[in-house]
């Protein structure tokens, strides 16, 4: 029986949501391929976190070298696991760490790498990877070699697994990386809200025109029970903090409702919100790219729409 190796990221003692997405897809693929799902995690908290996930087996890599992300230590430790397991497929999140780690282990082992994946399927005995290319403007498909491949998966590509399991957890020692040490961890500025957990997002773009008009978005978000987010131009202008930005260089979100107000729909923005359950867009330009992904759209001016919608929602 072959195996699918899922590289997990552990945050605050828990498996990250993105890692749960990978586990969910790995389980689906394993049922078709007849493969084992093997998860691997790093650090002193990994064994306890891995004991509660939906995997057949789990490997906790522990040691001072992997308490924080050090590229060479993580790469050498993962290579050691891959050497033992010889997985048919290795799945890694397409995060800052995952892009670095995935490319390193694929190059060292001399196997294929498919990055920026948002789809995986089995056709016959072949695994097909779908990847975003040209900043998300196009999708490309590749047949992964049966002797092994690495894929890095874009966050939000699959539903996260809520299933808890009881895999057998094996602990192995990390491989150190002499000559490289962690000097300091610089935490990003924390936002006032976590837009990735909001069910409803009222997202504004360049069409908001003036920072004073953000009050209209705040009032609408309050009336509908949502949170205000934005596209990159609003952050670049200094009108909202980076934590509120949706898109490739911001946050990937999957709310139940995404109101795109005055957003043109650059590929980098679409990449971060296209999987929302319901997308409603308002833009005076009916040919704006956001209209291509919206379920419903209107060309009403958002400065007229927002107060009118707020009034209706409040029953005034």
Of 143, 173, 203, which residue constitutes the final position of a domain? 173
Asked whether residue 257 is domain-assigned, the answer is: yes
Q: What is the structure's pLDDT at 192? A: 72
Looking at the structure, tell me whether residues 97 and 230 fall in a common domain. no
Is the same domain home to 165 and 208? no
Residue-wise burial string across 157-168, b where 16 or more C-beta atoms lie within 10 A, e elsewhere = bbebbeeebebe
Residue 302 annotated as binding? Answer: yes
| Shared domain check, 151 and 25 | yes
**Is residue 18 one of the residues assigned to a domain?**
yes
67 & 135 share domain = yes
Domain region containing 240: 195-313
283 among annotated binding-site residues: yes
Please check if 267 is assigned to a binding site. Answer: yes
The per-residue pLDDT for 283 is 96
245 is in an annotated binding site: yes
Please check if 94 is assigned to a binding site. Answer: no
Is 304 annotated as contributing to ligand binding?
no
Domain harbouring 102, CATH code? 3.40.50.620
| pLDDT (0 to 100) of residue 11 | 83
CB half-sphere exposure, 113, CA atoms < 13 A: 19
Does residue 185 lie in a domain region? no
How many domains does the chain contain in total? 2
290 in a known ligand binding site: no
Are residues 155 and 220 located together in one domain of the fold?
A: no
CATH number for the domain that contains residue 287: 3.40.50.1220
Q: Is position 199 within any domain?
A: yes
Distance of CA 121 to the CA centre of its chain: 19
266 is in an annotated binding site: yes
Co-location of 137 and 248 in the same domain: no
161 labelled as ligand-binding?
Answer: no
> What pLDDT, on the 0 to 100 scale, is given for residue 110?
95
268 annotated ligand-binding residue: yes
9 labelled binding-site residue: no
Same domain flag for 289 and 251: yes
Q: Is residue 182 part of a domain?
A: no
Q: Is 263 annotated as a binding residue?
A: yes
* Tokens 């397991």 -> residue: 85
Establish whether 77 is an annotated binding residue: no
Please give the average pLDDT of every successive group of 10 residues along the chain, which has 316 residues. 90 88 94 94 93 94 91 94 95 92 95 93 90 80 91 88 88 88 74 86 96 96 96 94 90 93 92 91 94 95 96 87
Q: Is residue 54 part of a domain?
A: yes
pTM of the model: 0.75
- Per-residue model confidence (pLDDT) at position 316: 64
The 3 state secondary structure assigned to 31-92 is HHHCCEEEEEEECCCHHHHHCCCCCCEEEEEECHHHCCCCHHHHHHHHHHHHHHHCCCEEEE
Same domain, 14 and 138: yes
- Compute the distance between CA of residue 292 and CA of residue 205 in angstroms, rounded to an integer: 17
Q: Which residues contact 75 (CB under 8 A, 6 or more apart)?
A: 101, 104, 105, 108
287 shares its domain with 254: yes
């Amino acid at each position: 029986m072959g195996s699918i190796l899922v590289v997990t990221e552990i945050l605050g003692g828990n498996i990250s949501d993105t890692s749960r997405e990978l586990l969910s897809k790995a389980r689906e693929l394993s049922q078709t391929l007849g493969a084992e799902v093997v998860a691997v995690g790093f650090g002193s908290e990994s064994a306890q976190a891995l004991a509660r996930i939906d995997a057949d087996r789990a490997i906790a890599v522990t040691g001072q070298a992997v308490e924080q992300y050090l590229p060479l230590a993580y790469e050498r430790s993962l290579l050691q696991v891959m050497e033992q397991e010889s997985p048919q497929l290795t799945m890694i999140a397409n995060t800052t760490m995952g892009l670095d780690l995935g490319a390193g282990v694929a190059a060292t082992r001399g196997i294929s790498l498919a990055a920026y994946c948002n789809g995986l399927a089995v056709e016959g005995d072949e695994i097909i990877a779908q990847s975003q290319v040209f900043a998300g403007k196009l999708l490309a498909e590749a047949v992964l070699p049966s002797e092994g491949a690495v894929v890095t998966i874009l966050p939000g590509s699959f539903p996260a697994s809520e299933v808890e399991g009881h895999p057998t957890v094996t602990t192995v020692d990390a491989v150190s990386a002499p000559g490289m040490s962690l000097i300091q961890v610089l935490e990003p500025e924390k936002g006032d809200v976590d837009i990735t957990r909001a069910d409803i997002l009222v997202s504004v773009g360049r069409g908001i025109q003036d920072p004073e008009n953000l009050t209209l978005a705040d009032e609408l978000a309050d009336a509908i029970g949502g949170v205000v987010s934005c596209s990159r131009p609003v952050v670049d202008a200094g009108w909202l903090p980076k934590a509120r930005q949706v898109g490739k260089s911001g946050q990937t979100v999957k709310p139940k409702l995404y109101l795109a107000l005055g957003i043109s729909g650059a590929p980098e923005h679409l990449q971060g919100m296209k999987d929302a359950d319901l997308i409603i867009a308002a833009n005076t330009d009916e040919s704006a790219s956001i209209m291509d992904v919206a379920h419903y759209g209107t060309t009403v001016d958002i400065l007229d729409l927002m107060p009118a919608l707020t009034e209706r929602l409040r029953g005034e």
